[in-house]
Amino acid sequence: MSERGNFGTKIGVILATAGSAVGLGNIWRFPYMTGQDGGAAFIIIYLVCVLILGIPGMVAEFVVGRHSGANAARAYYNIGGRKWSLLGYGGAITSMIIFGFYSVVAGWCLQYLFASTMGQLNGDVTYVQHYFKTFSSDPLKPLFWTVAFIIMTHLVVVKGVRKGIERASNILMPTLFILLFIIVVASCMLPGTKSGLEFLFKPDFSKVTRSVFLDALGQAFFSLSLGTACLCTYASYFNRQTNLVKSAVQIAGIDTLVAILAGLMIFPAAFSVGVRPDSGPSLIFITLPAVFQQAFAGMPVLGYIIGVFFYGLLVLAALTSTISMHEIGTALFYEELHLSRSKGAWIETIVCIIIGVFCSLSCGAVDITVFGKSFLNFCDFITSDILLPLGAFFTCVFVGWYVPKNIVKDQITNWGTISSRLYGIWLFVVRFICPICIGSVFLHQLGII
């Protein structure tokens, strides 16, 4: 275990885990799901999911991870035996699928970073829409960026937990936050943003269909990195002083704030320049170039600099998330198969490159569809709408009903050194509310209730 790191400082733990949570899930996926599922009503359901299911679920994963101080499969095995270790293995597989399609989108961001640096994104909305479509359905370019992005992640992970992850998150997160804020202000100052703001803040529950609940639930779990033992793996590096409940609340708070800021950045601008809110995965890629140009029309140099910086930071935010997905498999292969960390990391990388290649090609270059969805959309759907909720469901059942109460209580109260006021409420939520709510959303989607 000598290669196993430990997060050095308290703030490092929070920032690295927040780095895992904040990523394309907030800035790319949240706006596109909100746009597709009708705006404000979706956001309200999403917030409820984060609050009553997401935060308690995060704490549950933290409990298992920090108790064991081992990789995901071993963490569940140590407490629950072979049967429960499947949750760790399942999480590693789910995160590989996510890593695959996520890297394609991160690759698009790399291309946009390159293109905006070269000034290739200057044009009206029709031009940018055409640019995105041509680029994303090209067989080679997006493939190149996808693989480049996966290799970047690989290199950071091989450098080790502390050096790689902690150092990166410390600077990136606050910078991203400030930049988002500036873009939100610029976007809201465009002409005709009123309907965009109404779309975001005026709920219309008549648009809420059956699938909106599952979408909101899946988006909440995706955004919090919940349900794949990712948080469990990170918690295995936490020290004895980390307050699990407080950390979960802080991380969920930062994550939600970034998502809302992303919404505020996209929708006023989308309505202003005439991009449909339900444009799907391409939403931010066809809206943002317009913001950088039109909102800074008087100061084109500033618009250029902000654009380049933004895509750069978006790539880095995606990187701190993929590092965490990568780490699940790497720690598992390294410790369970007794390989070197570097070999473990290579297995993870190669599998993800294969998935990423198929996802990238399915965006227009080659016709790869599963159940009528492109392979990328299928991977997104099967993970967020099925595997993550299932992972979170069983984690809550496990922690609520199977893990010995003394272990759980020690973890929540840091071995009796901090207040246990919230312990009772949290345990109740994890035992009853989470399994019942996640289960009912599933059955509701299937049409059973």
**Residues that bind ligand TRP in the complex, under the rule CB under 6 A:** 20-21, 23-26, 95, 98, 222-223, 225, 228, 230, 321, 324-325
Residue 352: CB minimum distance to ligand TRP, A = 13
Which lies closer to ligand TRP via its Cβ, residue 95 or residue 360?
95
Closest distance to ligand TRP from the beta carbon of 393 (Å): 15
Is residue 42 within 8 A of residue 426, CB to CB? The reply is: no
Helix (DSSP H) and strand (DSSP E) numbers for the chain: 22, 2
Distance, CA of 101 to CA of 97 (rounded, Å): 7
Give me 297's structure tokens: 């029309």
Q: Considering the complex, what minimum distance in angstroms separates the CB of residue 234 from ligand TRP?
A: 9
Question: Which residue has the closest beta carbon to ligand TRP?
Answer: 25
Compare residues 129 and 380 and give the one whose CB is closer to ligand TRP: 380
Q: SS3 for 374? A: strand
Can you tell me the distance from the alpha carbon of 176 to that of 248, in angstroms, rounded to the nearest whole number? Answer: 20
Please list the residues that pair with 373 across neighbouring strands.
370
Nearest distance, CB of residue 236 and ligand TRP, angstroms: 15
Q: How far apart, in whole angstroms, are the C-alpha atoms of residue 154 and residue 8?
A: 22
Q: Rg of the Cα trace of the chain?
A: 21
Nearest distance in Å: CB 286, ligand TRP: 20
SS3 state of residue 224: coil
Through-space distance between the first and last CA atoms of the chain, rounded to whole angstroms: 48
Query: From CA 251, how far away is CA 244, in angstroms rounded?
Result: 11
CA gap 156, 165 in Å, rounded: 7
Instruction: Give CA–CA dist 71/235, Å, rounded.
Output: 10
Nearer to ligand TRP, 322 or 445 (CB): 322
Tokens of 279: 């444009």
Contact criterion met (CB below 8 Å) for 385 and 218? yes
3-class SS string, 16-27: HHHHHHCCHHHH
Min dist CB 209 to ligand TRP, Å, is: 24
Q: How far is the CB of 299 from ligand TRP (least distance, A)?
A: 31
Nearest distance from residue 329's CB to ligand TRP, in Å? Answer: 11
When the beta carbons of 190 and 231 are compared against ligand TRP, the nearer one is: 231
CB of 392 to ligand TRP, least distance (A): 10
Closest to ligand TRP by CB, 23 or 196 = 23
Phi, psi of 374 (to 5 degrees): -65, 155
Token couple for 22:
């904040």
To the nearest whole angstrom, how small is the minimum distance from the Cβ of residue 30 to ligand TRP?
8
Q: 369-370 and 373-374: which strand pairing?
A: antiparallel
Q: How far apart are CA 333 and CA 51, in angstroms?
A: 33
Q: Residue 92, CB half-sphere, CA atoms under 13 Å: how many? A: 26
Q: Which is nearer to ligand TRP, 7 or 131 (CB)?
A: 7
Q: Return the sign of the alpha-carbon dihedral for residues 213, 234, 317, 134.
A: negative
